Amino acid sequence: MSNSFEIHPSIGKQTDLGTRIDGQELKTLVEAGMTWLKVNQQMVNALNVFPVPDGDTGTNMLLTMQAAYSEIAQSGERNVGKMAHAIAQGALMGARGNSGVILSQLWRGFARALDSAETMDAAMLVRALAESRNTAYKGVVRPVEGTILTVAKEIAAAAEQELPQAPSLADLFESVVNAADAAVKRTPELLPILKQAGVVDSGGKGLFIILEGMLRHIKGQPLEGVVTVQPLAAMQLEESMEAVEPGQDFEVVVDFRPYQPLDLEKFYAELSEIGTSIQVGEGDGMYRMHIHVPTENRYQPIDYTMQLGTVTKVAIENLLAQMESEGSKSQLSLHPVEPGQIAVVAVAPGKGIARIFASLGVSAIVEGGQTMNPSTEQILAAFENLPTDQIIILPNNKNIVMAAQAAASMTVKKVAVIPSRSVPQGLSAMLRMEHNGDFDTIVEDMNQALGDVETGEITIATRSIEINGVKVNSGEVIALLNGQLIESTSSIENACLQLLQKAHTEERERITFFYGQNISKEEVNRIVDSVRAVYPDHEIELHEGGQPHYQFIISIE
């Protein structure tokens, strides 16, 4: 699915909602909300409590909205209820991360309230917002206030209160957006961890931005963002693989000198119709354009750029070849499942970790993890065609559990989600797996196994902050134990040793290191030797994990 859509000509032009809207008008509002979220995507991503490179709430919500809009992009449906149901279905299939799943539940409740109504008036909007709130709260096992749920609750209450005074849908919508803004600003008072971090809730902010985009369209305000261009030296194109999305098969880089001053806004707009992951750098009068495109579009960026200036250098790389080159030496050997057996689907953040899960007997691997949460549809597709009706899913990441549960709810197969929040938990669960065992017994055993292991993570702080008494400076090495920030220091080695100490590793027997993409094998070996010196009686294993961003994922058993 492409991340880019041709903006409807009416987006950004003032519109009169009147007293009722139909399906086409709802479609335009959805497009406006999606467009404004795309403009503010990175700002929402930055609202991450922990200073880790996992701030992807804005991305997850945007991908969910784009999936919702792609479901209706070509629809001429005027029945507002039917349009809402299509939006909800698209959002559910494309939901990524906890924020995306909750957003899809908001749309589901919205559609449920409208049912098959031809049009929606202010009273129906109030009912739809209330049902959105109710459905989202029911979809979360332990609702937490100070999150997107609180914002949904506050806007539903505001809409109900304002209905008698609101002379039009537009006025009611403005009250809803103001309530969302106020609710987001209050989230730190409801959730102490937000106050410590000095941020508001990212999911709540994302919901506010979607609604604000709709209101901006109603008022005829612009939905375009300010386009900035970075220096050529600052473009880290080697990291662009992290943004590869389905259907974007080629990476194209073009260096060129423009014939006349470059209109950056128009340049970005034109490129967004061709592909995704657009970056533009400038230096000494020359520009570098980077883009990911489908196979059929791979020459379009070059042809387009040649109209603007003199092309000096072109590079085209096959993204699939880049992604598979490292893993081509060792192909995955997945467990062939038979009817009546239990099949396991595991989410893996790196090729090395995927190989380990395969060796333990999983039947399907879904690529995903930190900063790359798979969608509900991707998880569903991984097991829907397996020749058995007994499926166990290991999400192996706290932000993928809800998407896995959503996928489980969409099939007639018997599916259990083991709520593994980390790779070590998932591997621990797999050690209890028996393909021919009793399904309920195996599920119970795998759930119990989650508590047999401690998870450590080592990464680099993305910003300065102080949380739970741990002061962090941007660029320092930080350690997390079972998802909690516990140490910030100057070296990876010291972070590992401090983490192991605070995990009371002396009381355990085995330490397993999974090293990531961004650390050399020489440094890995040196650090593991240091750990062996401190824990000479422990069994220590080392595996190539291949995960991005995290130098080490550590299992302590």
> Domain range spanning residue 372?
326-449
Q: Tens digit of pLDDT for each residue in 73-101?
A: 889 999 999 999 999 999 999 998 899 99
Percent helix, strand, coil in the chain, to 5, is 45, 20, 35
Q: Given a cut of 60, is residue 325 above it in pLDDT?
A: no
Instruction: Report yes or no on 5 lying in a domain.
Output: no
Instruction: Examine the fold and report which residue of 271, 289, 320 is the final residue of a domain before the chain moves on.
Output: 320
In a shared domain, residues 355 and 374: yes
Instruction: Report yes or no on 8 lying in a domain.
Output: no
Mean pLDDT, rounded, for 143-150:
93
Instruction: Examine the fold and report which residue of 409, 433, 449 is the final residue of a domain before the chain moves on.
Output: 449
3-state class of 285 per DSSP?
coil
In a shared domain, residues 345 and 332: yes
pLDDT reported for residue 69: 92
Q: Which two tokens stand for residue 550?
A: 């995290």
Q: Which two tokens stand for residue 99?
A: 């924020």
pLDDT reported for residue 92: 93
- Separation between Cα atoms, residue 354 and residue 344, nearest integer Å: 13
Instruction: Report yes or no on 4 lying in a domain.
Output: no
Between 321 and 44, the more confident residue is 44
In a shared domain, residues 80 and 202: yes
Q: Tens digit of pLDDT for each residue in 14-38?
A: 555 668 899 999 999 999 999 999 8
Q: Given a cut of 90, is residue 487 above it in pLDDT?
A: yes
Q: Given a cut of 80, is residue 511 above it in pLDDT?
A: yes
Mean pLDDT of all residues in the chain? Answer: 86
In a shared domain, residues 213 and 251: no
Q: Given a cut of 90, is residue 451 above it in pLDDT?
A: yes
In a shared domain, residues 339 and 358: yes
pLDDT reported for residue 313: 75
Taking the alpha carbons at both ends of the chain, their separation in whole angstroms is: 41
Whole-Å CA distances, 7 to 10, 170, 211: 8, 22, 17
pLDDT reported for residue 133: 96
Q: What CATH number is attached to the domain comprising 419?
A: 3.40.50.510
pLDDT band at 502 (very low <50, low <70, confident <90, very high): very high
- Separation between Cα atoms, residue 383 and residue 27, nearest integer Å: 32
Mean pLDDT, rounded, for 329-342:
81
Instruction: Report yes or no on 68 lying in a domain.
Output: yes
In a shared domain, residues 81 and 206: yes
In a shared domain, residues 548 and 402: no
pLDDT reported for residue 500: 96
Q: Tens digit of pLDDT for each residue in 456-469?
A: 999 998 888 888 88
Instruction: Report yes or no on 108 lying in a domain.
Output: yes
Q: Tens digit of pLDDT for each residue in 221-268?
A: 888 654 555 565 555 554 444 444 556 667 788 888 888 888 887 888
Decide if 134 contacts 34 (C-beta within 8 A).
no
Mean pLDDT, rounded, for 525-546:
94
Q: Could you give the number of structural domains in the chain?
A: 4
In a shared domain, residues 346 and 391: yes
Instruction: Report yes or no on 15 lying in a domain.
Output: no
Q: Given a cut of 70, is residue 318 above it in pLDDT?
A: no
Q: Given a cut of 90, is residue 481 above it in pLDDT?
A: yes
Q: Given a cut of 50, is residue 294 above it in pLDDT?
A: yes
Mean pLDDT, rounded, for 99-115:
94
Decide if 402 contacts 60 (C-beta within 8 A).
no
CA quadruple 27, 33, 39, 43: dihedral, nearest 10 = -150
3-state class of 180 per DSSP?
helix
Q: What CATH number is attached to the domain comprising 297?
A: 3.30.70.260
In a shared domain, residues 52 and 161: yes
Q: What CATH number is attached to the domain comprising 475?
A: 3.30.1180
In a shared domain, residues 391 and 434: yes
279 Cβ contact partners less than 8 Å away, ≥ 6 residues apart? 230, 235, 237, 240, 289, 290, 291
Q: Long-range CB contacts (< 8 A, 24+ apart) of 521-528?
A: 523/492, 526/493, 527/492, 527/493, 527/496
Instruction: Report yes or no on 6 lying in a domain.
Output: no
pLDDT reported for residue 245: 54
89 Cβ contact partners less than 8 Å away, ≥ 6 residues apart? 71
Instruction: Report yes or no on 316 lying in a domain.
Output: yes
In a shared domain, residues 485 and 396: no
pLDDT reported for residue 385: 87
Q: Long-range CB contacts (< 8 A, 24+ apart) of 243-247?
A: 243/276, 243/277, 243/292, 244/277, 244/292, 244/319, 244/323, 245/1, 245/3, 245/276, 245/277, 245/292, 246/1, 247/1, 247/2, 247/294
pLDDT reported for residue 462: 83
Question: By C-alpha distance, which of 473, 481, 474 is closest to 457?
Answer: 481
Q: What CATH number is attached to the domain comprising 110?
A: 1.25.40.340
In a shared domain, residues 345 and 431: yes
Instruction: Examine the fold and report which residue of 285, 302, 320 is the final residue of a domain before the chain moves on.
Output: 320
Total number of residues shown for the chain: 557
- Separation between Cα atoms, residue 89 and residue 91, nearest integer Å: 5
Phi then psi dihedrals of residue 55, to 5 deg: -70, 90
pLDDT reported for residue 9: 47
pLDDT band at 309 (very low <50, low <70, confident <90, very high): confident
Mean pLDDT, rounded, for 529-543:
94
Residue with tokens 């209050």: 186
